[in-house]
Amino acid sequence: MEKALEKCRKLASITHYYMQAEQALKEKAQRQKLEYRKLVTGVATRWNSEDMCMESCLQLKKTLEALGGSHDAFYSKTPTLGEWAIVAGSVHILKKVKEQGDQQALEW
Protein backbone atom coordinates (compact mmCIF):
# COMPACT_ATOMS: atom_id res chain seq x y z
CA MET A 1 0.00 0.00 0.00
CA GLU A 2 2.86 2.37 0.77
CA LYS A 3 4.10 2.31 -2.85
CA ALA A 4 0.62 3.07 -4.21
CA LEU A 5 0.16 5.90 -1.70
CA GLU A 6 3.58 7.31 -2.56
CA LYS A 7 2.65 7.45 -6.25
CA CYS A 8 -0.57 9.30 -5.40
CA ARG A 9 1.43 11.74 -3.28
CA LYS A 10 3.88 12.34 -6.15
CA LEU A 11 1.09 12.90 -8.66
CA ALA A 12 -0.60 15.41 -6.36
CA SER A 13 2.70 17.14 -5.69
CA ILE A 14 3.55 17.40 -9.40
CA THR A 15 0.22 19.02 -10.22
CA HIS A 16 0.50 21.30 -7.20
CA TYR A 17 3.97 22.65 -8.00
CA TYR A 18 4.06 22.49 -11.82
CA MET A 19 1.38 24.49 -13.60
CA GLN A 20 2.09 22.75 -16.93
CA ALA A 21 1.37 19.35 -15.38
CA GLU A 22 -1.84 20.60 -13.79
CA GLN A 23 -2.92 22.20 -17.06
CA ALA A 24 -2.23 18.97 -18.97
CA LEU A 25 -4.30 17.01 -16.44
CA LYS A 26 -7.15 19.52 -16.58
CA GLU A 27 -7.24 19.60 -20.39
CA LYS A 28 -7.11 15.80 -20.66
CA ALA A 29 -9.95 15.42 -18.15
CA GLN A 30 -12.05 17.92 -20.08
CA ARG A 31 -11.40 16.06 -23.35
CA GLN A 32 -12.52 12.87 -21.63
CA LYS A 33 -15.63 14.71 -20.39
CA LEU A 34 -14.67 14.11 -16.76
CA GLU A 35 -15.20 16.59 -13.97
CA TYR A 36 -11.81 18.05 -13.11
CA ARG A 37 -10.83 18.63 -9.51
CA LYS A 38 -7.35 19.35 -8.28
CA LEU A 39 -5.49 16.43 -6.77
CA VAL A 40 -5.32 16.75 -3.00
CA THR A 41 -1.84 16.78 -1.54
CA GLY A 42 -1.20 14.72 1.55
CA VAL A 43 -0.09 16.79 4.53
CA ALA A 44 1.04 15.14 7.76
CA THR A 45 -0.76 17.71 9.92
CA ARG A 46 -4.11 17.55 8.09
CA TRP A 47 -6.53 14.85 9.24
CA ASN A 48 -7.45 12.36 6.46
CA SER A 49 -5.32 14.14 3.86
CA GLU A 50 -3.78 10.91 2.59
CA ASP A 51 -7.25 9.41 2.20
CA MET A 52 -8.33 12.50 0.26
CA CYS A 53 -5.16 12.32 -1.84
CA MET A 54 -5.85 8.71 -2.87
CA GLU A 55 -9.53 9.42 -3.51
CA SER A 56 -8.76 12.44 -5.69
CA CYS A 57 -6.31 10.36 -7.75
CA LEU A 58 -8.86 7.58 -8.06
CA GLN A 59 -11.47 10.04 -9.37
CA LEU A 60 -9.08 10.98 -12.20
CA LYS A 61 -7.69 7.47 -12.74
CA LYS A 62 -8.60 7.31 -16.44
CA THR A 63 -6.99 10.69 -17.11
CA LEU A 64 -3.86 9.92 -15.08
CA GLU A 65 -3.41 6.60 -16.88
CA ALA A 66 -3.69 8.33 -20.26
CA LEU A 67 -1.14 10.97 -19.25
CA GLY A 68 1.17 8.38 -17.69
CA GLY A 69 2.07 7.05 -21.10
CA SER A 70 2.27 10.35 -22.94
CA HIS A 71 3.45 13.13 -20.60
CA ASP A 72 6.93 13.26 -19.07
CA ALA A 73 5.74 14.67 -15.72
CA PHE A 74 3.42 11.70 -15.20
CA TYR A 75 5.59 8.95 -16.68
CA SER A 76 6.51 6.27 -14.09
CA LYS A 77 4.52 8.05 -11.38
CA THR A 78 1.12 6.69 -12.38
CA PRO A 79 0.07 3.62 -10.35
CA THR A 80 0.04 0.21 -12.02
CA LEU A 81 -3.20 -1.77 -12.31
CA GLY A 82 -2.36 -3.60 -9.08
CA GLU A 83 -1.58 -0.34 -7.28
CA TRP A 84 -4.85 1.18 -8.51
CA ALA A 85 -6.66 -1.82 -7.00
CA ILE A 86 -4.89 -1.16 -3.69
CA VAL A 87 -5.83 2.52 -3.83
CA ALA A 88 -9.48 1.67 -4.59
CA GLY A 89 -9.63 -0.90 -1.79
CA SER A 90 -7.98 1.48 0.67
CA VAL A 91 -10.34 4.32 -0.20
CA HIS A 92 -13.33 2.01 0.22
CA ILE A 93 -12.15 0.76 3.64
CA LEU A 94 -11.20 4.23 4.86
CA LYS A 95 -14.61 5.60 3.86
CA LYS A 96 -16.28 2.86 5.91
CA VAL A 97 -14.07 3.65 8.91
CA LYS A 98 -14.87 7.36 8.59
CA GLU A 99 -18.60 6.64 8.34
CA GLN A 100 -18.43 4.50 11.49
CA GLY A 101 -16.51 7.22 13.31
CA ASP A 102 -19.01 9.85 12.22
CA GLN A 103 -21.90 7.65 13.36
CA GLN A 104 -20.31 7.06 16.76
CA ALA A 105 -19.67 10.78 17.18
CA LEU A 106 -23.35 11.46 16.57
CA GLU A 107 -24.35 8.90 19.19
CA TRP A 108 -22.17 10.48 21.86
How many structural domains is the chain composed of?
A: 1
* Cα separation, 27 vs 47, whole angstroms: 30
The pLDDT value given to residue 48: 81
Residue 107 lies in a domain: no
This prediction has a pTM of 0.82
Residue 64 lies in a domain: yes
DSSP string, 53-86: HHHHHHHTHHHHHHHHTT-TTTTTTSPPHHHHHH
Nearest to 62 by CA among 93, 96, 86, 35: 35
Could you tell me if 90 and 84 are in contact, meaning their C-beta atoms sit under 8 angstroms apart?
no
Could you tell me if 87 and 79 are in contact, meaning their C-beta atoms sit under 8 angstroms apart?
yes
Q: What is the pLDDT of residues 88-108, one digit of tens each?
A: 999 888 888 877 877 777 777
Per-residue confidence band for 75, with pLDDT thresholds at 50, 70 and 90? confident
Q: Which domain holds residue 89?
A: 2-102
Residue 26 lies in a domain: yes
Q: Is the pLDDT of residue 12 over 80?
A: yes
Q: What is the pLDDT of residues 22-59, one digit of tens each?
A: 999 999 999 999 889 999 997 878 778 888 999 999 99
Residue 108 lies in a domain: no
